[in-house]
Amino acid sequence: MPNFTEETISVAGGNLQVYKGGSGDPLLVLHGAGGNAGPRRYAQALAEKFTVYLPSHPGYGNSDRPGWVETMQDLACFYTWYQEQEGLENVRAIGFSMGGWLAAEMLSMTGHAFSKVMLVGAAGIKPNDGEITDIFIISPAQVRDLVYHEPSQVPEWDEMFGTDPTPEQAQQAEGDREMAIRLTWKPYMHNPRLPAKLGRVSVPTQIVWGENDNLVPVECASLYQQAIAGSGVTVIPNCGHSPQIEKPDDFVQAALAFL
Amino acid sequence: MFLMRFTERAYVNYTEEDVRNSPNEAVRLTFSNTNFDPQEGHYLYNMYLDEYEYSEEVGFDGLMLNEHHNTPTCLGATMNLEAAILARNTKKPKIVLLGNPLPIFDNPIRLAEELAEIDMISSGRLVSGFVRGTGVESLATNTNPLHNRARFEEAHDLVIKTWTTPGPFRWEGDHYHFRVVNPFQTPVQKPHPPVWIPGTGSPETLVWCAERNYPYIFLETDPQGTEDMKSIYAETAREHGYEPGPENFGYLVRIHVQDTDEKAYDVGKGYMVGNIGVGRIPLPRDYASPVGYGSRSDDPRFLRLREQIRSDPFRVGGLDSAHYDEILDSKRWIIGSPETVISQLREVLSYMRPGILAVWTNDGSISHEDTMRCLELMGQEVLPALREIGEELELTDPFQKEGVMPGLTRV
Amino acid sequence: MDVFYFTEMPYAEFPESEAEKFPSMRLTFPNTYFDPDTASGLMNRYLDEYQHAEEMGFDGLMINEHHNTPSCMDVEVNITGGILARITKRAKILMLGNMLPTSDNPVRLAEEIALLDVISGGRIISGFVRGIGIESWANNTNPIHNRERFEECHDLVVKTWTTPGPFRWEGNHYHYRAVNPWMLPVQKPHPPVWVPGTGSPETVEWTARHRYTYAAFLTPLEVAKNLFARYREYAAADGWEPGPEKFAFMICAHVNETDEKAQESGKAFLWRMNYPLRGPREYWSPPGYASRAGAAAVAARRPTPLHELSYQELQDRYHLVVGSPDTVIKKLRHIRDELGVGSLLLEAQGGQLSHADTMRSIELFGKEVIPALKD
């Protein structure tokens, strides 16, 4: 197992918490609205081939929020800043859920961010038929029930959810939710102008979705595919919103095949 | 025929010099509110409300209100509050709002709630008109004029949906976003309060109204042009499978009556400082119609329609700068003794054939006493005569129309 | 001592148990339970009761606003404020209040309140509130900005009232290039401002800093005392001493001829203490709505939620005062003296209290209770 270290660097005047591990070409992993779950099993597996960078978004975990980071577009600006500073431009990247939306916003701003990118259950585009589930009006426990299609097949379930959170962890989770609300409240979890702006994208893009996604309708996979010329779609069967957690082996296989 | 009474609720305690000394010599938008005396406002508001309440007594079917911002020419900057008062203090007449400027609202759900509350308090007497607002409304609320029509249409769709679709539901539009649309209060009138649209003849709006069977109220438009505009409405109506009648059209006109023609002529001069303001200084173009506010549609259909409308000698505020006698001669304002007014109106009504007549009884510097006498004479002589003329000319109004009532969405 | 009459204008016209079928009786409780004809009668009944309250001698009439809930039919406090401004002659009109953070247009809000002050001839008390979390949902205003918007909206409203127009405002949440509404309040420099609270320390401090009146809402007396003490501390640090006019207390109150009759009719208040106060945390206080410190303080303010208290407990803890005029006088004097408040805000119609019981209660308040509180 590759070792991950946790480091704190200064970006845009604030501290940024980054998990880093493995060896090889850099791979930037952008977490979703729920927060940074750290180097889980999928990240360990990817670190066999790549140097994985897993930052906590500003306002999440132990990362500071520079006061100007209010919107997803601000966050995308922040990350291109981070990339330039750390020499992490033109790297491979994976974005999960809201992190997928973030990656898409970055793609719409610059051709220098990524060499290849995977968008996994990505928010950001409004579905035509269904709706992106409102995760703020229900409790975190209810959200978790919706995230996983079949909890029994989640290998890290006990590790992740087996014990009650400590008061510090609860505070952290509350802070993460606040940041998600700050970034995505209105229009909720989408940018009406994003699909048009993705017309500029020319880097190889793979769109990955759990077949039974209860948060972001699988319909959005094809909307992303339509928006990004030449992109491919992988649908992972019998799987919910977070394939990297629910079916890490299938997910890693798909990721390595593409990246 | 539906007869409703209107005044813009003017404030005239300032001078032409005050306006001349103001930014861009404009009486609206930037004419400083230091010229406003709240004590005088207290007196005026209650006086105007008294007059509206008296209008019910003399027999009007409707009390019409409008809304403008940052201007002494119309104190109805928050018309819904006045409407609520009339909802509580009157019993019979419709309360006709012409109308709420939809594009300036950032929260159409709240507007739907306000209007539902007024409909409730009035036991179902609200007529909910909507407007785009003049350019001044966009500037006063800092709403981007480029989005005016798009916001008008989206806000309209959302208000109607809020009134007619059981909540909770979600709305992710271009300009408005809500995840829990579910105001507990919905209007008394089903499927929703009637919607009437006032205007001066934008072809886009005429077509939009005809598509929805919403009555269109012509605001002091000239007879020739009105005929053209009605034909644009009618054409669209036919495409949508119905033949519009008088119930689809209204006409707003300044009508003032006193015991004699001479008295009326003198008193009627008070109109000259209503709407345009004391000093009669035309508004800068960039206030009235900021860049982006007007249509630049190159849709050949609208270009053709625009050309089709014959030009009005008093077009674009012309009534406000024309000479008093000129206006009276053209019969665009109708001022006189009851006999004079009735006979002139017979002529106008025969030609315009509106099912709804908005009677703009007073404005500007016309005094309370003269207004009350005018209303009294209206009740005693003019309104009964107009009702007869209405019957004779078969000027059906929306409330007399059987089947789908104009102004209601088919849900 | 000023005594205000208040009702939330409830719509209690369906079996309460229906609320069990939904997460809450607010926000997502379907509006298909609403019958507008019934509501029309109710709204006008409540307005009649307000008029009666003025006639019987209440010093002021208090109104409030909530969204998406049968517990409060008034969705626009300025609408009812306008009506009261016109149909009453003497009473102060306390709007507690307008929700600042959910307002997208503070200039219009300033205009509306100014209009009410103009129509009423200067009888408006302009309360400002942050709104509970449900209001953020119903208006889709990001709860994370709640306090920032409250403060910026307040600053802009007050500036609109006090600074000659036209002027410009380029803030963080609000932007105008021609602030110049042609409507200004009669009261100078502007109508009095009151702010309600249930425990948030930031709100007490902010209210004290602006020297506004702070109204504690349905808190235990001890909590209200603590909040008022904090206010006095802030004021002292700022070099001034607040009088009783800076403090108000809101409570449910019902009076009838005898204690027995009152205890029976007063049960109607249990409706408003129950289902309307239940619901998931995400509705009431979505993440970001309250500061962490504020959330902790609010959680501590009522050891037991009101909807878990019995009728007797509600009375023992002074959330609800019920009785004959003598009993109610005794209890209200106790509150007045304990808290040192200048105003009592009495929710004297609540829940399912009938029109007849409400009118009788208003009359007894006016004839017996209020004069006794003035001594």
Statement: residue C292 has pLDDT above 90: no
pLDDT in tens, C202-227: 999 999 999 999 999 999 999 999 99
| Mean pLDDT of all residues belonging to chain B | 94
Shortest distance between the Cα of B309 and any Cα of chain A, in A, equals 38
Shortest distance between the Cα of B180 and any Cα of chain A, in A, equals 10
What whole-number distance in Å separates Cα of residue B146 and Cα of residue B149? 8
In this complex, which of C39, C70, C118 lies closest to B42 when CB atoms are compared? Answer: C118
Directed axis angle between helix C325-339 and helix C221-237, to 10°?
A: 30
Directed axis angle between helix C355-364 and helix C36-56, to 10°?
A: 10
Exposed, middle or buried, B280 (CB in 10 Å: 0-12/13-18/19+)? Answer: middle
The reported pLDDT for the residue numbered C301 is 64
* Chain B residue at shortest CA distance from C76: B114
Q: Residues 6 or more apart from B139 whose CB is under 8 A from it?
A: B29, B145, B287, B290, C177, C178
Q: How far is CA C168 from the centre of its chain?
A: 32
With H, G, I as helix, E, B as strand and everything else as coil, classify residue C340. Answer: coil
What whole-number distance in Å separates Cα of residue B269 and Cα of residue B259? 16
- Which one, of A30, A59, A188, A45, lies nearest residue A120 by Cα? A30
- Other residues' Cβ atoms within 10 Å of the Cβ of residue A139: 13
Give, as one character, the DSSP assignment of residue B364: T
Taking a contact as any Cβ pair under 8 Å apart, which residues of chain B between 182 and 211 contact chain C?
A: 182-188
Tell me how far CA of residue B276 lies from CA of B74, C113, C223, C263, C295, in angstroms. 10, 26, 57, 63, 54
pLDDT in tens, A11-22: 999 999 999 999
Statement: residue B304 has pLDDT above 90: no
Q: Are B180 and C28 in contact (CB < 8 Å)?
A: yes
Exposed, middle or buried, B25 (CB in 10 Å: 0-12/13-18/19+)? Answer: middle
With H, G, I as helix, E, B as strand and everything else as coil, classify residue B208. Answer: helix
Q: Are C182 and B81 in contact (CB < 8 Å)?
A: no
Statement: residue B313 has pLDDT above 70: yes
In this complex, which of B33, B34, B116 lies closest to C181 when CB atoms are compared? Answer: B33
**Would an 8 Å CB–CB cutoff place A190 in contact with chain C?**
no
Q: Report phi then psi at B89, rounded to 5.
A: -95, 0
Neighbouring chains to B with at least 3 Cβ pairs closer than 8 Å: A, C
pLDDT in tens, C106-164: 999 999 999 999 999 999 999 999 999 999 999 999 999 999 999 999 999 999 999 99
Opening angle at CA A201, ends A196 and A206, nearest 5: 105
* Chain C residue at shortest CA distance from A137: C282
Statement: residue A184 has pLDDT above 90: yes
Q: Quote the longest CA-to-CA distance of chain A.
A: 47
The reported pLDDT for the residue numbered B332 is 92
What whole-number distance in Å separates Cα of residue B399 and Cα of residue A233? 58
pLDDT-based confidence at residue A7 (cuts at 50, 70, 90): very high
Residues of A in contact with C292 (CB under 8 A): 171, 174
- Strand partners for A190: A124
Shortest distance between the Cα of B15 and any Cα of chain C, in A, equals 16
The reported pLDDT for the residue numbered B392 is 97
Shortest distance between the Cα of B83 and any Cα of chain C, in A, equals 9
What whole-number distance in Å separates Cα of residue B179 and Cα of residue C49? 36
**Would an 8 Å CB–CB cutoff place A190 in contact with chain B?**
yes
Residues of A in contact with C144 (CB under 8 A): 178, 181-182, 185
Q: Are B170 and A192 in contact (CB < 8 Å)?
A: no
Tokens of B238: 């036919």
Opening angle at CA B142, ends B140 and B143, nearest 5: 115
Shortest distance between the Cα of A153 and any Cα of chain C, in A, equals 29
Shortest distance between the Cα of A212 and any Cα of chain B, in A, equals 22
- Full DSSP string of A80-129: HHHHHHHT--SEEEEEETHHHHHHHHHHHH-SSSEEEEEEES--BS--SS
What whole-number distance in Å separates Cα of residue C212 and Cα of residue C203? 11
What is the mean predicted confidence (pLDDT) over B13-33?
A: 96
In this complex, which of B172, B179, B180 lies closest to A126 when CB atoms are compared? Answer: B172
pLDDT in tens, B372-407: 999 999 999 999 999 999 999 999 999 998 777 899
Q: Are C137 and A185 in contact (CB < 8 Å)?
A: no
pLDDT in tens, C275-291: 999 999 999 999 989 88
Tokens of B221: 């438009």
Q: Which residue has the tokens 């585009």?
A: A125
| Mean pLDDT of all residues belonging to chain A | 97
Shortest distance between the Cα of A187 and any Cα of chain B, in A, equals 6
Number of cross-chain residue pairs from A and C with Cβ atoms under 8 Å apart: 37
* Chain A residue at shortest CA distance from B175: A187
pLDDT in tens, B333-351: 999 999 999 999 999 999 9
Statement: residue C368 has pLDDT above 90: yes
Residues of A in contact with C286 (CB under 8 A): 136-137, 181
* Chain C residue at shortest CA distance from B71: C182
Q: Where are the beta strands (DSSP E) in B7-135?
A: 62-65, 94-101, 126-131
What is the mean predicted confidence (pLDDT) over B253-280?
A: 96
Residues of C in contact with B89 (CB under 8 A): 86-87
What whole-number distance in Å separates Cα of residue B201 and Cα of residue A258? 60
The reported pLDDT for the residue numbered B404 is 77
pLDDT in tens, A145-154: 999 999 999 9
The reported pLDDT for the residue numbered B311 is 80
Rounded to two decimals, the ipTM of the complex is 0.94
The reported pLDDT for the residue numbered B337 is 98
Q: What is the pairing mode between strands C167-170 and C124-129? A: unpaired
**Would an 8 Å CB–CB cutoff place C108 in contact with chain B?**
yes
Q: Are B120 and C40 in contact (CB < 8 Å)?
A: yes
The reported pLDDT for the residue numbered C300 is 67
What whole-number distance in Å separates Cα of residue A39 and Cα of residue A160? 12
Residues of A in contact with C140 (CB under 8 A): 185-186
Rounded to 10 degrees, the C-alpha dihedral A72/A73/A75/A80 comes to 140
pLDDT in tens, A21-62: 999 999 999 999 999 999 999 999 999 999 999 999 999 999
pLDDT-based confidence at residue B307 (cuts at 50, 70, 90): confident
**Would an 8 Å CB–CB cutoff place A136 in contact with chain C?**
yes
What whole-number distance in Å separates Cα of residue A103 and Cα of residue C225? 52
With H, G, I as helix, E, B as strand and everything else as coil, classify residue C319. Answer: coil
The reported pLDDT for the residue numbered B410 is 62
Q: How far is CA C306 from the centre of its chain?
A: 17
Q: Are A138 and C280 in contact (CB < 8 Å)?
A: yes
Shortest distance between the Cα of A133 and any Cα of chain C, in A, equals 15
Give, as one character, the DSSP assignment of residue A241: S
Statement: residue B315 has pLDDT above 90: no
- Other residues' Cβ atoms within 10 Å of the Cβ of residue C260: 11
Number of cross-chain residue pairs from B and C with Cβ atoms under 8 Å apart: 219
In this complex, which of C28, C43, C178 lies closest to B121 when CB atoms are compared? Answer: C43
Instruction: Decide if C70 contacts B185 (C-beta within 8 A).
Output: no
Q: Are B29 and C166 in contact (CB < 8 Å)?
A: yes
**Would an 8 Å CB–CB cutoff place A131 in contact with chain B?**
yes
The reported pLDDT for the residue numbered B316 is 63
Q: Are A177 and C143 in contact (CB < 8 Å)?
A: no
The reported pLDDT for the residue numbered B191 is 95
Statement: residue C302 has pLDDT above 70: no
**Would an 8 Å CB–CB cutoff place C39 in contact with chain B?**
yes
Q: Residues 6 or more apart from A164 whose CB is under 8 A from it?
A: none
Q: Are B180 and A137 in contact (CB < 8 Å)?
A: yes
Shortest distance between the Cα of B254 and any Cα of chain A, in A, equals 46
